[in-house]
Each structure stands twice: as structure tokens, then as C-alpha cells.
Amino acid sequence: MGDRDLKMLFRGHSASPYFMAGQQVLMAAWRKAKRSKALPGTWREVGWVLTLRTFLQKIGCLEVAAWRWTTRLGGIIDLDPSSGDFDQTSGAVGHNTREAWRLTHFERWLARSDARIDSRQCQAIIYNEQRCTLTRKLVANDSHRFAVVTGASVSPQKFEVMLSHKDRRNGREPNTILCPWCKEARGADWEHMVSKCNASGKPPELAPPTDLLQRRLGWASIARAHSYNFAVLDWMAEVRQRILEERYEHMSSAPKVQGTGRIAAAATAASYSSSNDHSNRQTAKGAAAATSAATATATAAATRQPQKRKAASQSSGRSASAGGDQKAVTSSSTKSKLSTPAKKRKCSEVLNGCPPLKKCRRSTTAAVPGGVVS
């Protein structure tokens, strides 16, 4: 499942209403101080001053004096016109808060090491602003790359474990799960699929990254060339796409016995809940593509398909820029495929603002078998 803080980080500050509102208060105060050449107000714990103080504290700024904060990356926010540090541009003040906000989200992910393998593996990583920017540029509009860098890739091994939680009778030990490509046991985790599997079709010239964060989540390394960073993330995105396509191809061709439907439904729900909105669209498309590809060729999935991947990322860029245009989805999906995300969206609209996840997921599960198994 993608990490919520990493998703916030890569969707950007402008997708966070909390950040945007807090930033408005800060900049209004800054403009007032600039115009009046006096303190923007009375320093106290009520009204907008309290809003400002709470906001800056929540995004990781340290209040060192009245109207003065420092960020842990060395930035200063000073709203006292008599201070030497007041003389910053509004751009610099804004940059300091955005940087602090990103660092806070990154560290929240790092602090989740008891629950997340990726976080656990990257404990030695120190936040780097440049790295974050480079990675964001690599991701661009591609939903699979977005999923990879936010930890939403689900390896076959992880997937089986998730299924066995949903359905105890199906429970299997993680290390008995075969890699779908090389059929080796104990080898279906993310690391194996990305870099160790000898049947993955990985370009031989692509050496595994030595940097932990790049190795696990495909983040750009500032010590490596752009072409290498791009190749690593693009390969990981391709691995994720193929795992998903094969997963749904397998499911759509499975016989319609009672149990299978339920497993497929649980699996689809698990996969949907593990991705962001972009990925939902892409996953539905991937499932549709896999379904039609299943009849065309069963072996094609076993070989590497760079063109297909390229086409998919182009189309994902198109649908993303269309801003959720349903037509982009409809063109590559059947009506029944479309109904699942549409229902899910409707469901979350109705339940918006409540803690509806459980209820929502259950009804999504109920809606799925007709769409995917048929």
C-alpha cells in the first residue's frame, strides 16, 4: 500500500488544503509586516496568530522567538521587520515552508518503520531536497512510477500474504510462494522481482542501485547520472505494471467457482486500496488490457515489452492531463470495467467526511466480481 506521507510529498504542497490555507495566513502576515514596517499583529494564542503558530509547528518549524521560526533544513522565517532576517523575498519565505512541509512528511514515513518494509529498509537515508525534486521530475505523470516511489508496489509474495489475511483458508507461508517468472521459491518479494530474478528480462546493463532509497523505491540518486536514475525507475515501473497485468490476467481466466470469485474480489479490493486515484484508473485499464491480451497471447507477458510500457505511460499521461476525463478510460475499458472505479468514486463521495473505509471497501468488493471475473 502506498505510504500516505510519500503520496502527499509527491502530489505536492498545492494538493494539500491544510498547507495552502496555512501558507495563506503566513504570507498575509508577511505582506502586512512588509507594508506597515511593523509587527503584523499582537503575539498571542488566539485568532489568526494561533492558526499561524500551529501551522508552522505542524509542518516542523521551530518557534525560536515571537515572530521568528527556523526550519530543520536551515531556513528562517522572520516576521519582525526590525530583524536582519526579515529582508527575504516572499518566494524565499514560501520556499522555506514548503521545504519544511516536505521534510516533515518524509520523516513521518521514516518513522513508520514498524509497519512498512520500505521505511525499515531506508532508516539510514537522510532527506535531501534536490533528490526529492529530481524524483518528482522522473515521475512526471506516470502512474506506475508514482506508485513505485510512494511504496505502492505489491510483490507476488506480499500479495499472497494480503490474500491469506483476507481468507484464512487460503493462507500460505510467505517463503513457499513461487516467483511467477523464474518459478523459484522464496523469491517473490519486491527485491527479487526488480533486481534478482533471472527471468525478469531486466536489461543486463542496468546495475542494481547501491543507494537504499533508490533500490527500494526508485528515487533518483544525486550521485548518479539522470539516464541511470531514469532507467532504474522506469524498469521498476515496468516490473510493477507486469506484475499487475499478470495478476489480473490470471484472475480473469480463472474458472468461476464460488471461492475464486471471492478471492478475486478481495484481491481487487486490496489492489485498489493500495493505489492512489491515478493508479486506480491505470489499474482498471491494466486489468482491461490484460483481459484482452489474455486471448491474444499468453506468452507475451513473459517477455519484456518496452513498447507496450511506453504506450501505457503515454496514455496515462494523456488521461491524467485530461483531468479524470472518463472518455480516456472508456476507450480502453468495457462498460463493466468502468463501473468498478465509478462505483467506488460514487461510494466515497457519499461517505466523504466519515470514517467510511470499511463500509466502502466492502461494497466495492461486492461490486467487483461481475466486472473482473466475467
Nearer to Zn ion, 10 or 181 (CB): 181
Cα of 249 vs its chain's centroid, Å: 23
CA 334 to each of CA 195, 285, 297, 330: distance values in angstroms, whole numbers, following the listed order: 35, 10, 19, 7
Q: Regarding beta strands 68-70 and 62-65, do their DSSP bridges make them parallel or antiparallel, or are they unpaired?
A: antiparallel
CB of 250 to Zn ion, least distance (A): 16
Judged by CB under 5 A, the residue of 59, 61, 197, 244 near Zn ion is 197
Nearer to Zn ion, 181 or 272 (CB): 181
Judged by CB under 5 A, the residue of 179, 239, 244, 293 near Zn ion is 179
Nearer to Zn ion, 57 or 198 (CB): 198
Contact 16, 97 (CB under 8 A): no
243 binds Zn ion (CB under 5 A): no
Instruction: Return the range that interacts with Zn ion (CB under 5 A); candidates 152-160, 189-197, 250-258, 321-329.
Output: 189-197
Nearer to Zn ion, 29 or 197 (CB): 197
Judged by CB under 5 A, the residue of 73, 182, 302, 351 near Zn ion is 182
Nearer to Zn ion, 187 or 286 (CB): 187
181 binds Zn ion (CB under 5 A): yes
Instruction: Return the range that interacts with Zn ion (CB under 5 A); candidates 183-191, 233-241, 293-301, 340-348.
Output: 183-191
Instruction: Return the range that interacts with Zn ion (CB under 5 A); candidates 21-29, 192-200, 233-241, 267-275.
Output: 192-200
Nearer to Zn ion, 49 or 197 (CB): 197
Instruction: Return the range that interacts with Zn ion (CB under 5 A); candidates 111-119, 174-182, 267-275, 281-289.
Output: 174-182
Residues that bind Zn ion (CB under 5 A): 179, 181-182, 187, 197
